[in-house]
Amino acid sequence: MTTQRHMPGWIILMGALTAVGPLSIDMYLPAFPAIATEFRATGRVELTLASFFTGLALGQLFYGPVSDRFGRKPPLYFGLTLFVIASIGAALSTDISALTGWRFVQGLGGCAGMVISRAVVRDRCTPQEAARAFSLLILVMGLAPILAPLIGGIIVSHAGWQTIFVVLAAFATLCLLAVWHLLRESHAVQHVHSIALGKVLQDYAHVFRDRAFMRYTLTSSLAFTGMFAYIAGSPHVLMQLHHIPPQHYGWIFGSNAFGLIAASQINARLLRRVDMMVLLRMGVSTVALAGISLAILASFSMLTLPLLLTGLFVFISSLGFISPNASAAALANQGRKAGTASALMGALQFVLATAAGASMSLWHDGSALPLAVVMGVCGAGAWLTLYQGRTAGD
C-alpha cells in the first residue's frame, strides 16, 4: 500500500461504511424542528440522538467477536440489512417514541461498518500502512459532516424529514451491494474464534488488560470525546451566544471538518518518511494546548469569537493526526482479535462521548464555559494518557 499514489477501491468502500454512522447523525440534525413540530415533542427529539448513540455503543460489542468468528463480510450483511429496515421504520414512524426506538435499532445496524472497517484495515496492513489507510479513510468519511447537514436541510425543505431516512436506507443498500460484489474477505481461516459468551468475555478481558492497547485507545477516545463535546455544544455557543445565523454555522461546521480532512491527508503523506508515533505525539500535544487554552480563556471571560473559532479549528483539525495513528498503534498487536479490539475501541469512544454530553447538559449555564472546560479536560486527558503510558514503558 505504501507504494500506491492513488486511493485503493477498498479504502473508499471502508470509508463509505464508516460514514453510515456520521451520515445518520448529521443529515437529520436540520430536521429537529420539523420533527418536534409534527410529533409535538419539543425537548424530546434529542432523545432520538441519544438512543442512536446507545445503539452504536452496544452494537459494536456484538459485531467485533462475530467478525472474528465468521469473517468480516457476514456481519456487514446483517448490520447493513438491519440499518435499512430501521431506516424505513424511522421514516414510517407516527410518534416520537417509535422514532426513538427505530433510531436505537438503526444504531445497532449502522455500527457494523465502523467496527469492521477498522478490522479490515488491520487485516490487510502493517501498523505504519494502517495509519496511512486510516488517514485515507478519514478523507472519504470526513465528507459526511460537511455535506450531510446541507443535504439534510435541502431534503427537509423540499421533501419532508421522512425522506432523510429513505435516503439513508438507499445509501446503506448501495453499500450492501458493494460489499457483496467488491469486498474480498480479509479474515484468515486459522483465526476462527468461538463466540460462546464465556470465550467472548475472556477475549474482551484479555484485550482490556493490554496496556498498550488501552493507552492508545483512551488517548484517541478522549480526543474524540472533545470533538463530540464540540458537536453537542457548539450550536448553542455559536448560534445563541454569538448570534451566528444557522446558515453561517453550517459553513463553520464544514470548515472545521475540512480542517480535519486536510490534517489527515497531511498525516498520510508524512507517514511515508515520519514514524507514526512522532505524528501522534504532535497531534495530542496540539489538542491539549488548544483545549486548555479554550478552558482558561472561558474561565476568565476572555473567550472572544475569533479566539473561540481558532481554538475549535485547531482542536478539530489536530484529530487528523491522532485518530489514524492511535487506531493503528492500538490494533497493531491485535491480529487474532482485531474485530474484538476494534469493537472495544469504538464502544469506549461512545461511552466517554455520551458521558461528556451528559455532563455538559447537567452543567449548562448559558455560557461557553461548559464546552470549553470539557474540551480542555479531554485534551489534557489525552496528553496525560499518552505520556503516562510512555513513561511507564508501554
pLDDT at 390 over 70: no
| Domain architecture of the chain: domains with CATH | 9-391 (1.20.1250.20)
Tens-place pLDDT, residues 72-85: 888 999 999 999 99
Confidence of residue 57 (pLDDT cuts 50, 70, 90): confident
- Assigned C-alpha cell, 219: 488517548
Nearest-5° Cα angle at 91, 85 to 93? 100
- Taking only the tens place, the pLDDT of each residue in 317-329 is 999 999 889 988 8
Q: Distance between CA atoms of 392 and 394, rounded to whole angstroms?
A: 6
Centre a 10 Å sphere on the Cβ of residue 184 and count the other Cβ atoms it contains. 9
Binning pLDDT at 50, 70 and 90, where does residue 389 land?
low
Q: Which H/E stretch holds residue 200?
A: helix 197-208
What is the rounded CA–CA span in Å between residue 94 and residue 114? 29
Rounded CA separation 166/40 (Å): 22
Statement: residue 235 has pLDDT above 90: no
Whole-number pLDDT of residue 308: 95
| Neighbour tally for 210: CB within 10 Å | 18
pLDDT reading at 191 higher than 60: no
Q: Which residue has the higher pLDDT, 196 or 238?
A: 238
Q: What contacts 328, CB < 8 A, 6 or more positions away? A: 121, 125, 127, 128, 130, 131, 133, 134, 276
Q: How far apart are CA 270 and CA 315, in angstroms?
A: 20
Cα separation, 307 vs 299, whole angstroms: 14
CA 152 to the chain's CA centroid:
19
Residue 218 CA: distances (Å) to CA of 98, 289, 313, 315, 386: 34, 18, 22, 17, 8
Task: Look up the pTM and report it.
Answer: 0.77
* Mean pLDDT (the chain, rounded): 84
More confidently predicted of 194 and 219? 219
350-387 pLDDT per residue, tens: 788 777 777 776 776 778 898 899 999 999 999 999 98
Strands, E assignment, the chain = none
Q: Percentage of residues in the chain with pLDDT exceeding 90?
A: 32
Q: Which of 324, 346, 321, 334 is nearest to 114 (CA)?
A: 346
Q: What is the pLDDT of residues 37-55, one digit of tens each?
A: 888 876 677 788 878 888 8
CA–CA distance, 367 with 370 (Å, rounded to integer): 7
Highest mean pLDDT among 1-5, 246-250, 323-327, 349-353: 323-327
Cα–Cα distance, 238 to 223 (Å, whole number) = 21
